[in-house]
Amino acid sequence: MSKIMMTTPLVEMDGDEMARVLWQLIKDKLILPHVDLKTEYYDLGLLNRNETRDRVTIDSANAAIKHGVAVKCATITPNQQRMEEYPELTEMWKSPNATIRSILDGTVFRTPITIESVKPAVRTWEEPITIARHAYGDVYKAVELATVEPGECVMTFKGKSGAERTVSVQKVSGPAVWLGQHNSDSSIRSFARSCFQYAADTRQDLWFGAKDTISKTYDGRFKEIFEEEFETYRNLFRQLGIEYFYTLIDDAVARVIRSKGGYIWACKNYDGDVMSDMVSTAFGSLAMMTSVLVSPDGKYEFEAAHGTVTKHYYRYLKGEKTSTNPIATIFAWSGALGKRGELDCLPVLSDFAAKLESACFDTLRSGMMTADLAALTTPGYEVRAVDSWEFIEAVAARI
C-alpha cells in the first residue's frame, strides 16, 4: 500500500513529559504507517528551550507563520518548583503558548470532543460549544492600587502629541481599591477577525457578548469593532448560511445554557477564562478538549487543551503503563493534517484525518477507553478501561 504524500510540511512542535511520550506513540502507530509525513520539527521540550535560550519557540512560531499550519505537544511552563526539579535551567522561561500566541497575534478556540456515552451536565447540549477567548488586556494587564485616606482618583491619558485627557474616577471618603485596565483597537480587531475567520472555516454561528449597556465606551468599543469587521464577512456568512449574533453577556450566558450547542462563543478575556472552565467541565473532561490558535490572517496551530500530565509521567518513568487519554492529542494531529490537506488541495490527506477521528470514535463506541473516560461514562454503556498503548493499538487496527 502506498503512503499518502504531502506537499507542504507541517510545523511540528514537540513537548514534555507524558504528552511527549504519547506524541511519539501517535506518530509511530497512527500516522507514519499511512502518511509520508513531512514536518519541520522543533523540539519545544523544556531542556531544548533552555539550551536554545528559548529561540526554538520563536523559530517555531515563525515557521507556523511561514507554512500556515502547526501541531503542538503540551509543554512545561516553568515555575519555582520546576526550577528546582530541573537545576540546569538558566531562566524561568516564559510559557511557549504565550510566546506563540503573541507572535501569531492569534485567538485560541477550544472545542470539546463529545461522545454519546459521556453526557454533558447540561441536558440540552447536543453539539459542542467552542469558546474563543480574547487573550489580551483587560484585568490581565491591569494596574491596581489600594488607598487609605479620603481623596479622589483621576485617570489621565498623555498623548504623544502632548495633548492630555483626564477624567475623575471617583471621590472617596475612606479606604478604597482601584483598577486601571485597557485594551487596544488593534488587538480587539485581530480577535474579531480570527473569530469571523474560524466561524466561516467551521461553518458555525458566532456569538459575542459584552456589557455595552453599562460600559458604553469600553465594551461599546468591542461591539463596534466586531460590527465593523463583520462587514467584510457579511456576504460569506450569508452564503454559508451562518450568523453573527451579538447580545449582552448575561443574556448570552442564559442562552448558552438553554441552547443545543453547535456554535462559537467569543468571549472577552475574563469571561473566556471563567466560561471556558465552566463549559469544559460541563462537557466532561479536559482530556477531551482540543484547542486551536487562529491568527487574523488564517494561520493555524493545533494542540490538546490539557498539559503534560506530570503525575502520569512519573508513574510511567517507574515502569507503569498509564491510562492517559491520547484523544485530544490525536485530534490535534488530525486537525492539522486535515487543514494541511484542505490548504494544499489534497483530499486524500483530509480524508485520512477524518478516518483517524472516526477510528477513535469507533474505538470509544466499542467500549474501549482510557480510565478518565470510563469514570465519566453514563451507566448502561459498555466500558473496558485500558492503558494508552492498548487504546492506540485498537485505534491503529481500525484505521
Cell of 333: 494531529
Residue number, 64 or 286, with CB nearest to Mg ion: 286
User: From the list 39, 60, 97, 295, which residue makes contact with ligand NAP (rule: CB under 6 A)?
Assistant: 97
Residue number, 68 or 78, with CB nearest to ligand NAP: 78
- Contact between 262 and 128 under an 8 Å Cβ cutoff? The reply is yes
Strands (E), 44-163: 69-72, 107-112, 129-133, 143-147, 151-158
Label the pairing between strands 69-72 and 39-43. unpaired
Query: CA-to-CA distance for 153 and 367, rounded, in angstroms?
Result: 62
Identify what 273 binds: ligand NAP, Mg ion, none; CB under 5 to 8 Å per kind: Mg ion
Residue number, 183 or 324, with CB nearest to ligand NAP: 324
Binding mask 51-80 for Mg ion (x = CB under 5 A): ------------------------------
Cell of 315: 508513574
Binders of ligand NAP among 366-395, rule CB under 6 A? 372
The label of the residue with cell 486551536 reads: 292
Label the pairing between strands 300-304 and 289-294. antiparallel
Binders of ligand NAP among 50-89, rule CB under 6 A? 74-77
Name which of 68, 111, 73 is nearest 357 in CA terms. 111
User: From the list 111, 269, 324, 350, which residue makes contact with ligand NAP (rule: CB under 6 A)?
Assistant: 324
Kindly state whether residue 321 participates in binding ligand NAP, applying the rule CB under 6 A. no
Name which of 125, 168, 116 is nearest 366 in CA terms. 116
Half-sphere exposure of 359 (CA within 13 A, CB side): 23
Helices (H), 285-398: 310-317, 327-343, 347-365, 371-376, 388-398
How many residues line the site for Mg ion (CB under 5 A)?
2
Query: CA-to-CA distance for 94 and 110, rounded, in angstroms?
Result: 22
CB of 275 to ligand NAP, least distance (A): 18
Kindly state whether residue 277 participates in binding Mg ion, applying the rule CB under 5 A. yes
Residue number, 6 or 115, with CB nearest to ligand NAP: 115
Cell of 224: 463596534
User: From the list 308, 334, 363, 377, which residue makes contact with ligand NAP (rule: CB under 6 A)?
Assistant: 308
CB of 67 to ligand NAP, least distance (A): 20
User: From the list 273, 297, 344, 351, which residue makes contact with Mg ion (rule: CB under 5 A)?
Assistant: 273
Residue number, 276 or 324, with CB nearest to Mg ion: 276
Cell of 394: 485498537
Identify what 277 binds: Mg ion, ligand NAP, none; CB under 5 to 8 Å per kind: Mg ion
Kindly state whether residue 325 participates in binding ligand NAP, applying the rule CB under 6 A. yes
Cell of 60: 517555531
CB of 277 to ligand NAP, least distance (A): 12
Identify what 250 binds: ligand NAP, Mg ion, none; CB under 5 to 8 Å per kind: none
The residues that touch Mg ion, with contacts defined as CB under 5 A, are 273, 277
